[in-house]
C-alpha cells in the first residue's frame, strides 16, 4: 500500500502533522509500535479499576492554547476533546509549614506575594500585567520554525511594538539562569523557589544558563490564563485526535513497529515493519522519534552524511524521571495548610540549594538523598478520575540517574532500577509524609514507574528522560536537535523529524508537528519560510 505521507510514532506531534496533512487531502498512514497511541500522553488504570492515572504528562495547557487547537479545536471537540480548568494552578510547600501559590485570580496571588515581600507583590503585578502584551510576541517566536523568514517577521513586529530594549531584555531572559532572572526581580527566597521549581520539570537547576525562560513562561501563563488538564484523563486529547484522523480517512496502525526506513538514491521511500510488511510513501516520512533512534536504528545504512549521523546519535538526554501513582481515600493533609488541596500542582523543592544538590547527585549517577517532587492533584480539579470520595495522586520525581552508581543518602545499594525502584519509592513517600503527615495511611495502592520503565513504555524516553533531550542552550533554539538541522529536515530527502527532540522542545503544544504539517502542505510561508 502506498501513502502520500507516513508518520512513524503516534505521539501528539506526529498526530498533529497527520491531521493537517490529511485535512489537506493527503493520504496518510501512521504506524505506532505500542498497542495504544499517545506517546508520553497516556492515561491508564494503573492501580485499581476506576482510578485513572496520567502516566506521564498531566498539564494540557500548552495544547489547549496552541495554534493547532486554534485551527482544529472545533473538530477535536466533535470527537470528545474537553478540558477541566484549574484556577489554583501551582504552589510550593516549605519545611516551616508555610506556602506560596499562584492562582488565576491576580489579586489573590499578589496578596500572598505581598505577605512575603511588599515589593515582590508589586513586582508580581507588574510582570503579570506586562505579560498580556508580551505573550503574543514570545509565543510567536515559539510558534515559528527556527530559523526562518517567518521568525524574522515575528521579531520585526515585536521590535515595532515593544522596542529594541524589550528585545534585548527578552534575549537576556532566554540566556539567564533561573537564579539570575529571579534575583533581578524578587526578594523573597520562597517566591524564587516556587518559580524556579518549574525549571526542574525540564533539566534546569537554578544555576544553569538558559533555564529562566520556562519558569517565567509557566508562572506568567498560569497567572494570566490558568491551567487545564484533560477531562477524564490526558488521553482525551489523543482519543480526539484519533477520532478526527478517522474522520479524515487516515490509516492508524497500532502494534506496528517500524524496523527501518527504506531509502533509495538518498530519498526516503517507505518503511519496513518488524513483521516484514513494507509500505511506500510518495511524498514524505515524518518520524515522531528521537534523533538518536532514527540515526542509530531506523537508518541502518546511515544518512549519507557520517558527521550528521554521529551528532544525531550523540543527542544528549536529560536526567531520568520516576513516576509514582497513588490511589488514595483522601487528599493529602498538607501541613502548610488546607488551601493546598485546591492546587493542581504542589512542588516540594524548597530552595535553590536543594534543587542544585538533587541535580548534581543525579548527573553523578547517584540517587538523590532528597529528590524534587512534583505532586499533581488531578482529582481536586476533575473528580471523574476516581470513584466517588477517592483520589489519585500524580507524583513526578525529578531528577534521577538512568544508571544507578550509588545513593547519596547511603542507604540503597547501587543496582538495576528493577531491583531498587520500590525502595526509592519508599523514600519518595517518606518525603511526602514530611509535608503531609499521615498520607501513607490513605494510600490504597501505588504503581511505580522507574526511569527504566519509562523507556520500556516509550523508547523515546531514553534513560527515563521524559523531555526527550536536554534543553540546555547547546541543544535548544536553532541548535535543536543539532546545529544546521533545526528545521525538521534531515540529510535524507523526504525524511523529517518532529517531537520534543526538535524545536520548540518538550511539552504538549504540538508545535513541531503542526509546523511541519504546514510546511509540507505548502501553507507555512509566513511562519516557516517554506521547506
DSSP 368-430: PSS-EEEEE-GGGT-GGGSSTT-EEEEEEEEEE-SS--EETTS-S-S--HHHHHHHHHHHHHH
Instruction: Give the Cα separation of 449 and 451 in Å (integer).
Output: 7
Q: Which three cell numbers stand for residue 273?
A: 515493519
**Residues 229/245, Cβ–Cβ less than 8 Å:** no
**Residues 113/92, Cβ–Cβ less than 8 Å:** no
Burial of 438 (0-12, 13-18, 19+ CB in 10 A): exposed
Cell 546545529, located at residue: 483
Vertex 153: Cα angle to 152 and 157 (nearest 5): 120
Vertex 171: Cα angle to 168 and 177 (nearest 5): 130
Mean of pLDDT values over 168-185: 98
Residue 100 neighbours by CB under 8 Å, 6+ apart: 91, 92, 94, 112, 113, 116, 188, 190, 191, 194
Instruction: Give the Cα separation of 204 and 263 in Å (integer).
Output: 38
Q: Would you tell me which CATH number, out of the four given (1.10.3290.10, 3.30.565.10, 3.50.50.60, 3.40.50.720), belongs to the domain 2-42+62-83+233-316+466-528?
A: 3.50.50.60
**Chain CA centroid to CA 442, Å:** 29
Closest CA to 8 of 401, 419, 263, 293: 293
Q: Decide the pairing of beta strands 227-230 and 2-8.
A: unpaired
Closest CA to 122 of 186, 215, 197, 190: 186
Cell 536504528, located at residue: 297
Residue 43 phi/psi, 5-degree rounding, is -130, 135
Task: Look at residue 320 and give its three-state secondary structure.
Answer: strand
Task: Look at residue 16 and give its three-state secondary structure.
Answer: helix
pTM above 0.85, yes or no: yes
**Residues 187/117, Cβ–Cβ less than 8 Å:** yes
Output the CA–CA distances (angstroms, integers) from residue 199 to 196, 289, 335, in the order listed. 5, 24, 25
pLDDT at 523: 85
Parts of the chain belonging to CATH 3.50.50.60? 2-42+62-83+233-316+466-528
Cell 538523590, located at residue: 368
DSSP code, position 330: S
Query: DSSP labels for 30-86?
Result: EE-SSSS-BTT--EE--SSTT--EESS--B-HHHHTSHHHHHHHHHHHHTT--EEEE
Closest CA to 243 of 77, 385, 384: 77
The rounded percent of the chain whose pLDDT value lies above 90 is 98
Does residue 437 surpass a pLDDT of 80?
A: yes
Q: Could you report the per-residue pLDDT of 373-390, keeping only the tens digit for each?
A: 999 999 999 999 999 999
The rounded percent of the chain whose pLDDT value lies above 70 is 98
Does residue 149 surpass a pLDDT of 80?
A: yes
Instruction: Give the Cα separation of 328 and 348 in Å (integer).
Output: 19
Instruction: Give the Cα separation of 145 and 72 in Å (integer).
Output: 20
Mean of pLDDT values over 307-320: 98
Average pLDDT, the chain: 97
Q: Which three cell numbers stand for residue 443?
A: 494510600
Does residue 529 surpass a pLDDT of 60?
A: no
Q: Could you report the per-residue pLDDT of 482-527, keeping only the tens digit for each?
A: 999 999 999 999 999 999 999 999 999 999 999 999 999 998 443 4
Quickly count helices (H) and strands (E) in the chain. Answer: 18, 20
Q: HSE, CB side, 13 Å, CA atoms: give it for residue 523.
A: 9
pLDDT bin (cut points 50, 70, 90) of residue 531 is very low
Mean of pLDDT values over 152-165: 97
Query: DSSP labels for 287-313?
Result: E-S-HHHIIIII-TT--S-HHHHHHHH
> Across-strand partners of 407?
367
Handedness of CA 56, 75, 243, 513 (dihedral sign): negative
Mean of pLDDT values over 150-179: 97
Closest CA to 376 of 109, 81, 90, 38: 90
pLDDT at 303: 97
Q: Decide the pairing of beta strands 320-328 and 391-400.
A: antiparallel
Q: Could you report the per-residue pLDDT of 38-52, keeping only the tens digit for each?
A: 999 999 999 999 999
Closest CA to 351 of 57, 58, 98, 88: 98
Mean of pLDDT values over 240-259: 98
**How many other C-beta atoms lie within 10 A of the C-beta of residue 267?**
13
Q: For residue 366, give the H/E element and its range.
A: strand 366-367
Residue 126 phi/psi, 5-degree rounding, is -60, -45
pLDDT at 395: 98
**Residues 365/405, Cβ–Cβ less than 8 Å:** yes
Q: HSE, CB side, 13 Å, CA atoms: give it for residue 529.
A: 15
pLDDT bin (cut points 50, 70, 90) of residue 253 is very high
Instruction: Give the Cα separation of 343 and 215 in Å (integer).
Output: 17
Does residue 272 surpass a pLDDT of 60?
A: yes
pLDDT bin (cut points 50, 70, 90) of residue 1 is confident
Longest dimension (CA), the chain: 67
Burial of 313 (0-12, 13-18, 19+ CB in 10 A): middle
DSSP code, position 273: E
Q: Could you report the per-residue pLDDT of 80-108, keeping only the tens digit for each?
A: 999 999 999 999 999 999 999 999 999 99
Does residue 27 surpass a pLDDT of 80?
A: yes
Mean of pLDDT values over 255-269: 98
pLDDT at 493: 98
Does residue 124 surpass a pLDDT of 50?
A: yes
Amino acid at each position: 500500500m502506498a501513502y502520500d505521507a507516513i508518520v512513524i510514532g503516534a505521539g501528539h506531534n506526529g498526530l498533529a502533522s497527520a491531521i493537517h496533512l490529511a485535512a489537506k487531502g493527503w493520504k496518510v498512514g501512521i504506524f505506532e509500535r505500542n498497542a495504544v497511541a499517545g506517546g508520553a500522553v497516556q492515561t491508564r488504570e494503573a492501580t485499581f479499576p476506576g482510578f485513572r492515572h496520567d502516566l506521564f504528562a498531566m498539564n494540557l495547557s500548552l495544547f489547549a492554547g496552541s495554534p493547532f487547537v486554534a485551527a482544529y479545536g472545533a473538530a477535536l471537540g466533535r470527537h470528545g476533546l474537553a478540558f477541566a480548568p484549574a484556577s489554583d494552578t501551582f504552589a510550593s510547600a516549605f519545611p516551616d509549614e508555610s506556602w506560596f501559590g499562584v492562582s488565576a485570580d491576580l489579586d489573590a496571588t499578589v496578596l500572598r506575594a505581598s505577605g512575603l515581600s511588599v515589593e515582590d507583590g508589586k513586582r508580581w503585578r507588574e510582570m503579570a500585567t506586562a505579560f498580556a502584551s508580551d505573550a503574543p510576541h514570545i509565543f510567536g517566536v515559539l510558534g515559528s520554525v527556527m530559523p526562518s523568514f517567518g521568525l524574522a517577521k515575528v521579531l520585526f513586529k515585536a521590535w515595532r511594538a515593544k522596542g529594541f530594549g524589550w528585545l534585548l531584555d527578552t534575549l537576556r531572559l532566554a540566556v539567564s539562569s533561573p537564579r539570575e532572572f529571579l534575583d533581578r526581580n524578587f526578594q523573597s527566597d520562597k517566591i524564587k523557589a516556587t518559580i524556579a521549581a518549574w525549571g526542574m520539570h525540564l533539566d534546569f537547576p537554578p544555576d544553569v544558563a538558559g533555564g529562566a525562560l520556562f519558569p517565567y513562561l509557566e508562572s506568567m501563563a498560569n497567572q494570566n490564563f490558568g491551567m487545564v488538564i484533560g477531562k477524564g484523563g490526558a488521553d482525551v486529547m489523543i482519543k480526539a485526535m484519533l477520532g478526527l484522523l478517522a474522520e479524515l480517512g487516515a490509516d492508524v496502525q497500532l502494534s506496528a513497529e517500524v524496523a527501518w526506513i527504506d531509502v533509495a538514491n538518498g530519498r526516503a521511500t517507505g518503511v519496513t515493519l518488524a513483521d516484514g510488511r513494507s509500505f511506500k510513501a510518495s511524498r514524505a516520512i515524518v518520524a515522531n522519534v528521537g534523533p538518536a533512534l532514527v540515526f542509530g536504528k531506523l537508518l541502518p545504512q546511515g544518512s549519507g552524511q557520517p558527521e550528521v549521523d554521529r551528532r544525531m546519535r550523540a543527542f544528549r538526554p536529560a536526567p531520568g524521571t520516576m513516576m509514582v501513582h497513588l490511589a488514595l481515600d483522601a487528599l493529602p493533609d498538607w501541613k502548610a495548610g488546607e488551601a493546598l488541596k485546591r492546587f493542581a500542582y504542589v512542588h516540594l523543592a524548597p530552595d535553590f540549594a536543594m534543587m542544585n544538590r538533587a541535580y548534581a547527585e543525579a548527573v553523578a549517577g547517584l540517587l538523590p538523598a532528597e529528590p524534587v517532587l512534583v505532586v499533581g492533584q488531578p482529582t481536586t480539579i476533575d473528580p471523574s478520575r476516581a470513584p466517588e470520595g477517592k483520589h489519585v495522586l500524580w507524583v513526578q520525581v525529578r531528577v534521577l540517574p538512568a544508571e544507578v552508581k550509588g545513593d547519596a543518602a547511603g542507604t540503597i545499594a547501587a543496582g538495576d532500577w528493577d531491583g531498587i525502584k520500590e525502595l526509592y519509592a519508599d523514600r519518595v513517600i517518606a518525603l511526602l509524609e514530611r509535608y503531609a503527615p499521615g498520607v501513607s495511611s490513605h494510600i490504597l495502592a501505588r504503581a511505580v514507574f522507574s526511569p527504566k520503565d519509562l523507556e520500556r513504555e516509550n523508547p523515546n524516553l531514553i534513560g527515563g528522560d521524559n523531555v526527550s533531550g536536554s534543553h540546555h542552550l547547546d541543544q535548544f533554539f536553532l541548535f535543536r536537535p543539532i546545529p544546521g538541522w533545526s528545521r525538521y529536515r534531515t540529510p535524507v530527502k523526504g525524511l523529517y523529524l518532529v517531537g520534543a527532540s526538535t524545536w520548540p522542545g518538550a511539552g504538549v503544544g504540538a508545535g513541531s508537528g503542526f509546523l511541519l504539517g504546514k510546511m509540507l502542505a505548502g501553507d507555512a510561508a509566513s511562519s516557516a519560510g517554506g521547506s
